[in-house]
Amino acid sequence: MAEINNETLNRIADALERIAPLDSDKPSLDGADAFIWYTDPDRLIPIKDISRVDLELLQGIDHVRDILLQNTEQFAKGFAANNALLWGARGMGKSSLVKAIHGKLSELALVEIHREDIPSLPRLLEVIRSSERRCILFCDDLSFDNDDGTYKSLKAVLEGGIEGRPKNVIFYATSNRRHLMPRDMMENERSTAINPSEAIEEKVSLSDRFGLWLGFHSCNQEDYLKMIDGYLDHYKINADRNMVHAQALTWSRTRGARSGRVAFQYLQDLAGRMGVSL
C-alpha cells in the first residue's frame, strides 16, 4: 500500500472542514422569541413580528385560559407541567390562546412545527435539548388520516421513548378532533381489525399522552357580544353598541357560526367602513 504523506493528509483534512457544517449554521434558539421549524435542510426561522392578540381579548374561554396559563407559568418557573391538547370548535381561539400566553411569558421560546414535519420532531428536540432556553413546542391543527403512521413517532416523543421529551420543552397542539383522528377512521378500525379494541386503543392512546385536554366549544350569543364589546374597547372604536350588536348578530348568521374568529372578522369589516386602522 502506498504511503500517505503529510501533504495528502492535510488536503483530506481541509476537504473535510469545507464540507462539515459550521457551528453558526446549526439551528439555535438565539436571536428571537419565536421560530418556525423547517426541514431540508433543518433550520429555525426567527419570527420578529408574531401574529397574536392580547390575552384579555379572548372572551368566553376563561376556564381553559386559566388552566393553560397556570400550566405554562409552572413550566416557565422550572416546575412540573403537562403537554396540552386544545381541541374543539373552529375559531374559538385555540391557537390564539397559545400565542397570547407566550406573549405574557416571552422569556420562553415559541417554536412552531408544521403537521407534515412531525417525522422530523426527534431532530428538532435534539436542537432544543442542546439549548438552555425553555421552549413551548407548538403544532397547530394536528390530526392524522388513514394510513398515516407518523402518529407513532409523536407518541414516542411525548412520553413513550427511552429519552422522553427534554426537560426544557413542553408540547402544545390544537386540533378539531379530541382523539386527533376522524370518527370514520376509528369506526373503520373497529369493523376491519382482527382485534378492534386493540386497534382503536393504539390510536386513541396518542391523545392520552397529553396530560391536559382543554375543550373549546361554540359560544353563546352573550359571549359572542362580549367579544365584540372587548374589541370595540381595545381598539377604541366609538360606535353605537346597539347598532353594532345587531350588525354583528346578522354577520354571524351569514357565517352560520358564532366564534371569536367570526367576531374579529366582523370587527375588521366595521373598522374598515369607519376608516379605523387596527
Alpha-carbon gap, residue 224 to 61, rounded angstroms: 11
- Asked if 86 and 98 count as a contact pair (C-beta separation under 8 A), the reply is yes
Give the closest residue to 154 by CA, choosing from 168, 142, 169, 141.
Answer: 142
- Asked if 171 and 71 count as a contact pair (C-beta separation under 8 A), the reply is no
Per-residue pLDDT at 3: 57
pLDDT digits (tens, 9 = 90+) for 148-158: 667 776 776 77
Per-residue pLDDT at 193: 46
Report, as ranges of residue numbers, the positions in the chain whose pLDDT lies below 70. 1-4, 13-25, 146-149, 153, 156, 159-163, 181-204
CA 180 to chain centre: 14
Residue 73 C-alpha cell reads as 407559568
Per-residue pLDDT at 186: 46
Predicted model pTM: 0.81
Alpha-carbon gap, residue 86 to 97, rounded angstroms: 9
Per-residue pLDDT at 65: 95
Instruction: Please provide the average confidence, as pLDDT, over all residues in the chain.
Output: 84
Question: What DSSP state is assigned to residue 225?
Answer: H
Per-residue pLDDT at 166: 87
pLDDT digits (tens, 9 = 90+) for 239-278: 999 999 999 999 999 999 999 999 999 999 999 999 998 8
